[in-house]
Amino acid sequence: MSKIIRAIDSQGLVRVSFIDSRDMVEEARRIHRTSPVATAALGRTLTMTALIGSGMKDKRDTVSVFIKGDGPLGQIVTTATGDGTVKGYVANPAVHLPLKSNGKLDVGGAVGKGSLSITMDLGLKEPYCGQVPLVTGEIAEDFTYYYAKSQQIPTAISLGVLVDTDYSVKQAGGLFVQLMPGCDDETAAIIEKNVTELPPVTTMLEEGMSGDLIVTSVMAGLFFKDLDGAEYNYKCDCSREKIEKALISLGEKELIAMINEDHKAEVTCRFCPEVYKFTEFELIELLKKAKTK
Ligand SMILES: [Zn+2]
């Protein structure tokens, strides 16, 4: 379970949320058997996606993030829902890259150049989509740029994943600070100073700082109140029904090719290890449904 602590200042000008996402990132690593640099890239993205998800009002609301870079990791895809679940994958989870000269994992090099897109489905007629080019591929900077450019909201985003010597996730967390429209310069200056003085997220977690203390440190000098927190877990909601629908949507031509060439199909979920097997007979049944569509 990864817990999110949220707070807002008394004037409604500053929103802060913090997540200790170790459990969720470790679960993703276990499922996808990610290399350290892939764990960091996917982990930072999952962490941010959960932070965005925790701000959604309805349990059925969803947010999906697509990071399309030209680096060796390939695409990163993550989704969070308002009910506290998050899932994701990276196209090439086994990529290894040399550490950077400062000894850190080269997430930017592994992601490369490309774009960051966010799709929010808030139960309205059309989902909301925004896209920006990647700034560094280090993820936190890219999300910060997204909010500045596409939402015109000044934010401070800090995301960290510390991988242990046995490749398990030692610490993971994220801090998301948003200045709302109408925020005065004085308040903005206080927040900026507080945020700048904080150590990196994984350092704070290693030192045993609680989420409450981290949020309080960001808000120091302002009156604020806690908002409802949230709990996020890595969980996949795939089902045989959903996979059947996906197969039907491939269309008649693809299904006929599967039937004639392979006489069966095996579909592995991208988000979890589940494998769905279909016999020739079952594929013929799906083909009938595809024809009536
Ligand atoms: Zn699944």
224 CA distance to ligand 1 centroid (A)?
40
The full DSSP string for 46-88 is: HHHHHHHHTT-SSTT-EEEEEEEESSTT--EEEEEETTSEEEE
240 CA distance to ligand 1 centroid (A)?
10
Residues in the chain: 293
49 CA distance to ligand 1 centroid (A)?
18
Indicate the CATH number for domain 240-292.
Answer: 3.90.1280.10
- The pair of three-digit structure tokens given for residue 213, joined into one six-digit string: 């203390």
Q: What is the pLDDT of residue 176?
A: 97
Whether 123 has a pLDDT exceeding 90, the answer reads: no
Question: Would you list the domain boundaries of the chain?
Answer: 2-234, 240-292
154 CA distance to ligand 1 centroid (A)?
35
Torsion of CA 161, 8, 187, 157, to 10 degrees: 20
Whether 10 has a pLDDT exceeding 80, the answer reads: yes
Q: What is the pLDDT of residue 152?
A: 83
d(CA 124, CA 157): 27
56 CA distance to ligand 1 centroid (A)?
23
Q: What is the pLDDT of residue 1?
A: 83
What CATH superfamily is the domain 2-234? Hsp33 domain (3.55.30.10)
d(CA 1, CA 69): 30
Q: Render pLDDT for 248-271 as a digit per residue (tens, 0 to 9).
A: 999 899 999 999 999 999 999 999
d(CA 111, CA 278): 35
20 CA distance to ligand 1 centroid (A)?
24
CB 259 within 8 A of CB 111: no
- Ion ligand 1 — residues with CB < 5 Å: 236, 238, 269, 271-272, 274
Q: Render pLDDT for 188-239 as a digit per residue (tens, 0 to 9).
A: 999 999 999 999 999 999 999 999 999 999 999 999 999 888 899 999 989 9
Q: What is the pLDDT of residue 207?
A: 96
277 CA distance to ligand 1 centroid (A)?
14
Q: Render pLDDT for 128-185 as a digit per residue (tens, 0 to 9).
A: 999 999 999 999 999 999 999 988 889 999 999 999 999 999 999 999 999 998 899 9
Q: What is the pLDDT of residue 215?
A: 96
